[in-house]
Amino acid sequence: MVEITLVRHGQANAQATDEAGYDRLSDLGHRQAQWLGDHLKETGRRYDHILSGTLNRQRDTASAIAACLDSPMEQDARLNELDYYGLATSLRDDHSVPMPADRDQFLHHMPQLMTAWEAGRLHSRLETFSAFEGRVQAMIERAEELGGRVLLVTSGGVIGMAMRILLRLEVASYANVLLQINNTSLHRYVKGGNALLLDTFNATPHLESADRAFARTHI
The model's pLDDT over 124-152, given as tens digits with 9 standing for 90+, comes to 999 999 999 999 999 999 999 999 999 99
- What pLDDT is attached to residue 57? 98
Q: Is the pLDDT of residue 207 over 90?
A: yes
When pLDDT is averaged across residues 210-215 and rounded to a whole number, the result is: 97
Percent of the chain with pLDDT over 90: 90
The runs of H, that is alpha helices, within the chain are 19-22, 27-42, 56-69, 84-95, 103-118, 129-146, 156-167, 171-178
Rounded to whole angstroms, how far apart are CA atoms 58 and 60? Answer: 6
- What pLDDT is attached to residue 167? 97
* Amino acid in the structure at residue 145: E
- What pLDDT is attached to residue 101? 86
Task: Select from 84, 85, 110, 218 the least CA-distant residue to 172.
Answer: 110
Q: Is the pLDDT of residue 200 over 90?
A: yes
pLDDT digits (tens, 9 = 90+) for 153-171: 999 999 999 999 999 999 9
Phi, psi dihedrals of residue 70, rounded to the nearest 5° = 55, 50
Rounded to whole angstroms, how far apart are CA atoms 218 and 139? Answer: 23
CATH topology for 2-82+127-146+156-207? Rossmann fold (3.40.50)
Domain boundaries, the chain: 2-82+127-146+156-207
Angle, vertex CA 8, rays to CA 126 and CA 192, nearest 5: 100
Confidence band of 60 (pLDDT split at 50, 70, 90):
very high
